[in-house]
Structure 1
């Protein structure tokens, strides 16, 4: 584990050095004067972290996530939709109610990811479109209608 972390920091320091345009001679002089070492592979994890902080504070380097890196769970939140669009199965018996719920969500200014979060916490269903119980849909729609009425929004379906 420690070896992997050190390897990651060495790679990150090399990327930063390249992005900052620090040549080999200046880099070695920096390592020697600051840490008494000639190579980043000889630095400890704490020293590597210090080197990265130096790049950020003194040289203004801004770390950016890799384009090929997998997103963290917080970055994934709300992903999976093509914009604000979902496809409902035409055979779903709750389809008309789901379409009405989606219209209410739009009136309320809710995002689909927020609707998913609500369904997950309230009903234990990961995605809104996966709701299969009539009771869950009724609870959701009744609450959304009440919220619309409190905001002065007409919740009746528009033809």
Structure 2
């Protein structure tokens, strides 16, 4: 494991510890007491990887449930050819009263491609998902 990966893992585990603290409804003094009794440390930043694992396992024993994050969701299945996906994007833009330039901007931001026509089906699906999320946020989406 590289140093960068180890640091990312440490940050993820520390985040999970604090999510567990919140999910379990532990007050700060309760959390610190539990931390000291389980690991012998008074701060999670001082924990080794073994200490973090020990603490997370203890949290799971007392009721912490790990939830999948958005990044952990499976990618949407790409169905249809490029033409049908672009047609769907066109319909979404029309419904939102947005110009094609908006879709090109999304392609640039999301896919790092200058124009929507140059996107592959997987990239087009990402843009469709983003447009659906926007429609849901703005109350235009009905399933």
Q: TM-score, normalised by structure 1?
A: 0.45
The structure where helix makes up a greater share of residues is 2
Q: TM-score, normalised by structure 2?
A: 0.49
